Structure 1
Amino acid sequence: MDNDKFIFCLEAVPDIDTEETTETFRSLEKLALQTGIDSIYKTCDTIEGLEESLNALLYEDHNFKNYEIIYLVVPGERNTICLNNYYYSLEEIAELFEGKMKGKILHFANTKSLDLDGEEAQYFLDVTRARAVSGYGVRSSKANSNPLDNAFFSFCQDEDNVIEIVELLHEKYYAACKLLDFRLYY
């Protein structure tokens, strides 16, 4: 396994000053223990916090090129994310990340549904320069995507072709992929 690829996770929380161990944090710890895949976990409660965390990663972390996946655990619907009761479109997020995500996969947990048409997906990929954007068509507080997210991250460690990754994920976790409506735009 190629362990020099990392995950950067940014999770939206109601208040960053309140320390709480989230389900996402526990899931990433489990992933690290089971597979050796390292991650950086940060929280944010505003769009400025999201931008500040990503800029710190981009400009201060010399290992940024090794972060293959930017894992966003933020609430929202279809083409928006919600931070501190404000909604931001994925177009706004794309402009925030403009040119900064070259070769990265931006993966959204199922805390927001990801439902882009072809034009929206292409705009996001072109502006951010990301390799792919993935997530789920089903937003659910009852069906947590962490196990499927971790399987996806593991496959990304071993395989570079996003089509192969999706095929493997569907082959091994078909029921979960269907239940959560896993999607990948590239």
Structure 2
Amino acid sequence: MNDITINDEIDDFKLFCLEGVEDIEEQKDFQLLDFLEHLAKNFQITNVYKTCDSIESFEESISNLLHFDRDFRDYKIIYLVFEGDNNVIQIDDYYYSLEEIAEIFEGKLTDKIVHFANTKKLELEDETFQYFLDVTGAKALSGYVNSSPLLSTVLDQYFFCLAKETDDVVELVHLLFDKHATMCTKLGFRLYH
């Protein structure tokens, strides 16, 4: 399992990124790593990056995060980069529902935002996102309705930087749309709280 910590500075705003890849051993795309390094160097957003290529490695990553990562309480955003649609993410050939993910994180995400990159379309019904928030204790669940040939890292960067400045998710969304309305609209940014 790939485990990289970027930016060792002590800071109270940390991001945990978990990416689904085809094969951990043969990972070739470093676009996301470059992006996370950019966040650390230019915006002082300390982050940890892990990959998984199976349900077992996904569950192991989450278990390690919840039970063994000494910085877990400091992560403000859990950034998930997986294929999928609406209520499911795809890992290998398995479809994992948000309800299943919520049960893994049960009660553990207080004051955290779970954010999906636009590799997964996130358009949820009220009962789905409310269940996720109620079970996990997360402050918000966010992502994009529209996938794009380009990864959403440009807008994600703005979102993470604004999240570093404000704890209020309503204000966060207003600031994001005030500054980047065109990108928010084009990607179909959503934040459920």
Query: Normalising by structure 2, what TM-score?
Result: 0.91
Give the C-alpha shift of residue 56 in structure 1: 1.1
Q: Is the 8 A contact 1:103 1:131 kept in 2?
A: yes
Out of 150, 153, 162, which is 1:146 matched to?
153
Give the C-alpha shift of residue 21 in structure 1: 4.3
The answer to whether 1:174 aligns with 2:168 is: no
For the residues of structure 1 that align with 2:186 and 2:27, how far apart are their CA atoms? Answer: 32
Match of 1:102 in 2: 110
1:143-172 deviation digits (Å, cap 9, x = unpaired): 320010111111111100001111111011
For the residues of structure 2 that align with 1:19 and 1:84, how far apart are their CA atoms? Answer: 14
Match of 2:164 in 1: 157
For the residues of structure 2 that align with 1:21 and 1:84, how far apart are their CA atoms? Answer: 17
The answer to whether 1:13 aligns with 2:32 is: no
Give the C-alpha shift of residue 19 in structure 1: 3.7
- Residue 48 of structure 2 aligns to which amino acid in structure 1? I
Unaligned runs of 5+ in 1: none
For the residues of structure 2 that align with 1:182 and 1:115, how far apart are their CA atoms? Answer: 10
Query: Normalising by structure 1, what TM-score?
Result: 0.95
Match of 1:3 in 2: 11
Instruction: Report which of the two has the higher share of strand.
Output: 2
- Residue 89 of structure 2 aligns to which amino acid in structure 1? I
1:111-155 deviation digits (Å, cap 9, x = unpaired): 010011111110010111111100001122x13200101111111
The alignment covers a number of residue pairs equal to 184
- Residue 86 of structure 2 aligns to which amino acid in structure 1? R
State which drifts further: 57-66 or 153-162.
57-66
For the residues of structure 1 that align with 2:45 and 2:80, how far apart are their CA atoms? Answer: 17
Alignment of 1:29-178 (within 5 A): 29-140=37-148, 142-178=149-185
Q: Is the 8 A contact 1:3 1:157 kept in 2?
A: no
For the residues of structure 2 that align with 1:48 and 1:101, how far apart are their CA atoms? Answer: 21
Identity %: 50
- Residue 53 of structure 2 aligns to which amino acid in structure 1? D
List structure 1 runs of 4+ shifted beyond 6 angstroms: none
Secondary structure class of the residue paired with 2:106: coil
State which drifts further: 176-185 or 40-49.
40-49
